[in-house]
Chain A
Amino acid sequence: MRDVAVVAFAQSEHSFSDLGWTEADLVMPLVNEVLSVTGMDRSEIGFTCSGSNDYLVGTPFSFVAALDTIGAWPPIAESHVEQDGAWALYEAWVRMQHGDIDAALVYGFGKGTVGDQVGISSLSYDPYYLAPLVPGHIAMAGLQARALKDAGFDVDPDPTPPPATDGAAAVILAAGDVARRVCSRPAWITGLDHRIEPHAVGSRDLTRSPSTRQAAARAGVRPGVVDFAELHTRFEHEEMLLRRELGLDEKTVVNASGGPRKADPIMATGLIRIGEAAARIHDGSAQRAVAHAASGPCLQHNLVCVLAADTASDLASEGER
């Protein structure tokens, strides 16, 4: 794998009420911030990928408005995922593995304060058996919390949702020597994987998260010390489940940033986990960190990113010595 690092991360001052920000208002300061921190010019960005959800503001193609922030003329190579920005980062990371570009811009944004989150989350469920009932994300979390409680875990079976939040985040990925040039201590992505489980919650064992376990194994969370972990825990009971599946011990500090329970700018929340974990490497407080992003009912879809101050090839050559 090509050595690719998170070299810059910025997030908005998240808001718990609608301040009338447009997509461009949310994203533009962050794009300019990550460019400024790295000293990079827009022309050095070989690929741009964003993550958002049009249903949050109820405007078809609202992600197109955010393109105003990145200078899309003359035309640029750009893509979008109707998912959290963490998956946009995954796409950008895969794109960088092609080897022909050295830097990518990733951003995610969402306005969680203006819409009906139970209605919106229900529309993302299967339209035959689940969506017509309008269960919503809180009830789905409640089914999982109760299952964990019944299995003997010390969790609150009546979960409360995180605060509805408006916000955004942006990240620059850079490869090899470009990363070393623009960042004094790049957060190298030594492993990145995402796995998904069946959508039907009634066909799953809700006390386990095999997709997290599998993604963690493939991303190489173990062996090795994990100083910090940033987990996409929108509900409290998810932390113990994820800790167990990721194989994190008590020494790993989880969600030092405050985590999604403090601010949940939906569609940026997962990308912020990667950015916060990378920031612990940038500032020297961590040698190795893990970030996790989730999507779908009851942690259906999980992404695991391992970040380190050393590249995978650095570690391999150390091992040879």
Chain B
Amino acid sequence: MTTQASLPPETPQTSDARVVHVLEFPGGYTRSTGPVIGRFLTGLRSGRLFGVRMPDGRVLVPPTEYDPQTAAALGAADEDWVQVGPAGTVTTWTWVDDPRPDHPLDRPFAWALIRPDGADTALLHAVDSGSKAAMATGMRVHPTWRAERTGAVKDIACFAPGEGPAEVPALAPAGVPTPVDGPASDGEAELEPVSMVTLPHRLEYRLRGGTVWNHFIDGMAVGQIRGTRCAKCGKVFVPPRGACPGDGVPATEWVDLPDTGVLTTFAVNNVPAAGAPEVPFISGYVLLDGADVAMLALVSDVPWQEVRIGMRVRGVWVPDAERTRSVKNLKWFAPTGEPDIPFEQFEEYV
């Protein structure tokens, strides 16, 4: 027998811990701007607000390549571009008591839709009014500018109450010392128009492992691989799944699996990867004896030239004393030395 009944499925979850999961694109997600948004952002970098005229004569801020109502192309001709503001009027707003680290301000502020003078639509930005009581629809505000302007919506530090205008500080690109004086346009001439934006992006999650996963990990903590069996088709899944993907019914019967099986396919990896062994290392699919799904694993203790499909393998575990509640307890699979299994016998699982 290669499988046997294990602990009952109603085994209480042994861990209530939430794990932190981070979704992040290091360096940010990069997008091209196209000519219209790029021109607006180039304006922000020089401390100016521009709008684009729509076919009905109204001025769209912030501009897009198309008329939001009719989809007509916008902004192709220079004469369609209009400098607006910088002051404008709040058309609606909402208060933020607890700013986030990724917000434009680190103190309570208002989000507002602001219609710059000369524009017919409004842009969203933060208003630093000091208090909620100081906010009102119809109030006059003006933009304040960062010195470190890159051609992005955050080149506007925020809007402040009143007509302004605020002085536009000399451009201080990241890493370049700020010039002592001189007009804002200094150095602008040498800069290419803005054509790309980068959106930093980091989301945090707090996840709780499911009952199936927890029971599997509890097994790995004691050197036991556990799978689940579908009551309908009888197939055994490892790592375990709570549902049979073929039948769409719960797969709740637990089976203990041996750590022996056959290598159904493999790859020799010559590209270093974070967390992976030194190259060349071998990854492969191991069909454990009694399982119906091959599991992804490392293969070692054998020269890469000698690895072959059909090879019998056995799990190599970290010593008992070093085991943790982790899949990493199973270091890799190594050859058993038994004769190879003919391909026909596991063809269905490849």
On A, residues with C-beta under 8 Å from B are 18-22, 24-25, 28, 31-32, 42, 55, 57-58, 67-73, 114-116, 118-120, 123, 127-135, 139, 141-147, 150, 157-158, 198-203, 206
Which residue of B is nearest A42, CB measured?
B248
CA distance A155 to B326 in the complex (A): 52
Decide: A201 near B154, CB < 8 A? Known: A19-B208, A114-B205, A146-B137: no
CA distance A142 to B212 in the complex (A): 41
A residues in contact with B308, CB < 8 Å: none
CA distance A67 to B244 in the complex (A): 10
B126 touches A133 (CB 8 A): yes
Decide: A18 near B207, CB < 8 A? Known: A28-B248, A31-B248, A146-B137: yes
10 interchain residue pairs of minimum CB distance: A142-B94, A198-B68, A202-B122, A71-B248, A58-B23, A20-B208, A68-B245, A24-B243, A20-B210, A147-B92
A135 touches B153 (CB 8 A): no
CA distance A67 to B248 in the complex (A): 8
Q: B16-59 interface mask toward A, CB cutoff 8 Å, 1 = contact, 0 = none?
A: 00100111000001010100010001000000000000000000
| Interface residue from B123, B125, B248 paired with A69 (Cβ < 8 Å) | B248
A18 touches B203 (CB 8 A): no
CA distance A146 to B91 in the complex (A): 9
**B141 within 8 Å of A by Cβ?**
no
Which residue of A is nearest B95, CB measured?
A158
**B317 within 8 Å of A by Cβ?**
no
A residues in contact with B69, CB < 8 Å: 198
| Interface residue from A67, A72, A132, A158 paired with B199 (Cβ < 8 Å) | A132
B residues in contact with A22, CB < 8 Å: 210, 212, 242
B203 touches A146 (CB 8 A): no
A-facing residues in B194-252 (Cβ within 8 Å)? 197, 199, 201, 203-214, 241-250
**B170 within 8 Å of A by Cβ?**
no
A residues in contact with B41, CB < 8 Å: 128
A-facing residues in B111-161 (Cβ within 8 Å)? 111-115, 121-126, 137, 152-154
B64 touches A68 (CB 8 A): no
CA distance A132 to B146 in the complex (A): 15
| Interface residue from B68, B100, B206 paired with A200 (Cβ < 8 Å) | B68
B91 touches A20 (CB 8 A): no
**B178 within 8 Å of A by Cβ?**
no
A139 touches B248 (CB 8 A): no
List 17 additional A-B contacts (Cβ < 8 Å) besides A58-B203, A143-B124: A20-B209, A20-B211, A28-B250, A32-B248, A68-B241, A70-B248, A123-B201, A127-B29, A129-B124, A132-B199, A139-B96, A139-B111, A143-B93, A144-B92, A200-B121, A202-B121, A203-B121
- A7 CB to closest chain B CB (Å) equals 19
Please name 15 pairs of A and B residues whose Cβ atoms are closer than 8 Å in the assembled complex, sorted by A.
A25-B210, A31-B248, A68-B244, A71-B248, A72-B245, A73-B246, A114-B206, A115-B203, A128-B197, A129-B62, A133-B154, A200-B62, A202-B61, A202-B62, A202-B91
**B13 within 8 Å of A by Cβ?**
yes
Which residue of B is nearest A115, CB measured?
B205
B94 touches A143 (CB 8 A): yes
B245 touches A55 (CB 8 A): no
A residues in contact with B126, CB < 8 Å: 133
B31 touches A128 (CB 8 A): yes
B96 touches A200 (CB 8 A): no
Decide: A71 near B246, CB < 8 A? Known: A18-B206, A127-B197: yes
| Interface residue from A21, A72, A135, A206 paired with B92 (Cβ < 8 Å) | A206
A135 touches B201 (CB 8 A): no
B residues in contact with A130, CB < 8 Å: 124
The residue among A71, A145, A146 with the most chain B CB atoms within 10 A of its own CB is A146
- B126 CB to closest chain A CB (Å) equals 7
Decide: A116 near B204, CB < 8 A? Known: A134-B100, A202-B123: yes
- A188 CB to closest chain B CB (Å) equals 28
CA distance A124 to B58 in the complex (A): 27
Decide: A20 near B13, CB < 8 A? Known: A32-B249, A114-B207: yes
CA distance A111 to B18 in the complex (A): 14
Which residue of A is nearest B202, CB measured?
A119
B residues in contact with A25, CB < 8 Å: 210, 242-243
CA distance A287 to B104 in the complex (A): 51
Decide: A55 near B203, CB < 8 A? Known: A69-B248, A147-B92: yes
A200 touches B64 (CB 8 A): yes
Decide: A143 near B92, CB < 8 A? Known: A68-B243, A202-B121: yes
Decide: A128 near B210, CB < 8 A? Known: A71-B248, A133-B103, A133-B153: no
- B285 CB to closest chain A CB (Å) equals 18
Which residue of A is nearest B13, CB measured?
A20
Which residue of B is nearest A17, CB measured?
B208
CA distance A25 to B242 in the complex (A): 7
A residues in contact with B208, CB < 8 Å: 18-20, 114
Which residue of B is nearest A199, CB measured?
B68
A58 touches B154 (CB 8 A): no
- B242 CB to closest chain A CB (Å) equals 5
Decide: A120 near B124, CB < 8 A? Known: A19-B208, A67-B245, A146-B92: no
Which residue of A is nearest B135, CB measured?
A146
A134 touches B102 (CB 8 A): yes
- A73 CB to closest chain B CB (Å) equals 4
B residues in contact with A131, CB < 8 Å: 199
**B60 within 8 Å of A by Cβ?**
yes
Decide: A129 near B207, CB < 8 A? Known: A147-B92, A150-B92: no
Decide: A133 near B245, CB < 8 A? Known: A20-B209, A143-B94, A206-B92: no
B92 touches A129 (CB 8 A): no
CA distance A144 to B126 in the complex (A): 16
CA distance A134 to B100 in the complex (A): 9
CA distance A146 to B154 in the complex (A): 24
